[in-house]
Amino acid sequence: MSGREESGGSTASALAPAKENAFGASKIVCVRAGDNVPSRSWRLDAACCIALLVVSVLLRTRDLGHPDTVVFDEVHFGKFVHAYMTGEHYFDIHPPLGKLTIAGVVTALGYRYDPAVQNATAQFDKVGLPFAPEFNVQLLRAVPAAAGALVVPTVFLVATELQFSLETSLLVASAALLDSMLIIQSRLLLIDTQLVLFVSLSLLCALKLWRTDPLRHKVRRLALVCATAVFGSLALGVKWTALSYPGLIGVVSFFGYLFPHAFLSAQECSLATLVAIMVYAFPFWLHFRLLPRSGPGDGHMDLGFRRRLIGSDAYDATLRRRWFFIDFLELNARMYIANKNITGKHPWETKWYQWIVNARGLLYYAKRGAAKHDPEALIYLLGNPCAVWVSMAAIVVLTLLTMFQVRRRQFELPSLPAWRTNTELGGFLLIGWTLNLLPFILVERSAFLYHYLPGLLFAELALGYLVDCIPWRGARVLLCAVLVSAFIAAFVYWSPWTYAWPLSLSEHRARRWLAGWT
């Protein structure tokens, strides 16, 4: 059910006066398309979600076994996933949930570690190493593909919960559907699609929570408090870079700003905190239980921990196991130190200001024939150029409008009253976008284009928000159709870089529109 149905429809009329917000400041009401249209049927939204999911699955699972070699960070995550099958302790700078999820799902589907296959972990010894024919890399890659496919209908529901019109909700979902960067991350044995899915679900649950009356719907509200905490913690359990989402949700919930029922009581905050801690800690408990043997990650832990690992030089079978709490704190501390100590440079690292304009991508894979002029196959991580550039333009426009309103307090284009912009909701989207970039602005460490994926979601929502401010439905539908067509054209044109389809050197050069696309 959309937030529009629950909130009872329109929140403001076209001639609504300025209102007072929680801090006593004047708030300009934006009359968007979604404010003045009848409530949509949940069946229509469900049909859209199913259609988006089907297309998303098709785009992310096509030729899933190609390339049949280790691509980029698969060299790490492949070994981590197989460690849960061999029981050999490993260390990673990220929490264990993303790898545990892949290992758990593929094991439930019948995947087994087979030492006869040239030692399955050895399949990931080197980038570019070909997989043995009997090695089931398609099943391992299917889990990230499934997570990436689920992102698209979730984004549609987020736009719907923000009360975007149907056409604008589909526009935002199409940007995610046709984003080549998200598709590439979905087609390889990587964990970023899980992160994007969980942050999207946490935002969706938070939006529903903030529109749920605590007096009329107590049980529903408590369920949404728990769901929001669960998905936020799951995102953190994949990568700490997800912190901006639960951070923003926590601030809005604590101060009760912007949404009608955003304020959480002390009991609700306590419940959310308890659930979040338990959900974040549980994968670590599984991690320790599934890795009882000595392995390549031993050196990162202290002697007390290593003495309990079967097969280690210091193993003591009589040593009583320490409390989980101690191991949990130590591993998180070691992860923090390891992240902090990443100071080396990487040839494909990029800066945040390059991400937002798609200035430079990331070469994942390259294979050329023996002859000099043979076609070359590439996987080049790049956002859908049209979607990224248009979304960035929306961020710029929304920033200028918000700054103008904050300064003047009241702004209205005389002939277009529906263009009055809601300072608070626009600010919410801008803050969400900024918070996802802030760690990479403030911290000096190697970062890559895929770190922009959570922030790009807010940029796409900002685009949808501005388009939804167009008061004439015909013009709005036309603009959405033009933009989606441009997204499709860009996706098709650069699809050889997404799926590693061979092109001639001249065809590759034709697609290098910017100097950084090398």
pLDDT tens string 269-320: 999 999 999 999 999 999 999 999 999 999 999 998 999 999 988 888 777 7
What CA–CA distance (Å, rounded) separates 31 from 55?
32
In a domain, 20, yes or no: yes
Please spell the DSSP secondary structure of 394-410, one letter per residue. Answer: HHHHHHHHHHHHHHHS-
Burial (Cβ within 10 Å: 0-12, 13-18, ≥19) of residue 30 = buried
Name the residue range of residue 101's domain: 3-291+342-355+380-511
Each residue of 131-148: pLDDT tens digit?
A: 988 889 999 999 999 999
What CA–CA distance (Å, rounded) separates 156 from 164?
10
In a domain, 167, yes or no: yes
In a domain, 300, yes or no: no
Q: What mean pLDDT comes out for the span 102-117?
A: 89
In a domain, 374, yes or no: no
Least confident of 4-18, 110-124, 424-438, 476-490: 4-18
What CA–CA distance (Å, rounded) separates 116 from 24?
70
Each residue of 164-207: pLDDT tens digit?
A: 999 999 999 999 999 999 999 999 999 999 999 999 999 999 99
Mean pLDDT of the chain: 88
**Which residue in 228, 270, 258 sits closest to 246, CA to CA?**
228
3-state DSSP assignment of residue 442: helix
In a domain, 460, yes or no: yes
For residue 29, give the DSSP letter.
P
Residue appearing with tokens 């080049």: 380
Question: pLDDT value at position 33?
Answer: 60
What CA–CA distance (Å, rounded) separates 470 from 424?
18
Q: How far is CA 381 from CA 164, 343, 377, 414, in A?
A: 30, 23, 13, 44
Total count of domains within the chain: 1
Each residue of 391-406: pLDDT tens digit?
A: 999 999 999 888 877 6
Least confident of 3-12, 413-422, 503-512: 3-12
Q: Is residue 423 very low, low, confident or very high in pLDDT (cuts 50, 70, 90)?
A: low
Burial (Cβ within 10 Å: 0-12, 13-18, ≥19) of residue 445 = middle
In a domain, 298, yes or no: no
In a domain, 142, yes or no: yes
What is the CA angle 84-452-511, rounded to 5? 105
Q: What mean pLDDT comes out for the span 489-510?
A: 96
Each residue of 197-233: pLDDT tens digit?
A: 999 999 999 999 999 999 899 999 999 999 999 999 9
Question: pLDDT value at position 377?
Answer: 96
**pLDDT tops 90 at residue 259:** no
What CA–CA distance (Å, rounded) separates 129 from 352?
31
Phi and psi, residue 464, nearest 5°: -60, -40
In a domain, 452, yes or no: yes
- The three-state DSSP-derived secondary structure of 55-114 is HHHHHHHCCCCCCCECCCCHHHHHHHHHHHHHCECCCCCCCCHHHHHHHHHHHHCCCCCC
Least confident of 269-283, 331-345, 421-435, 469-483: 421-435
The amino acid sitting at 64 is L
Residue appearing with tokens 């699609």: 193
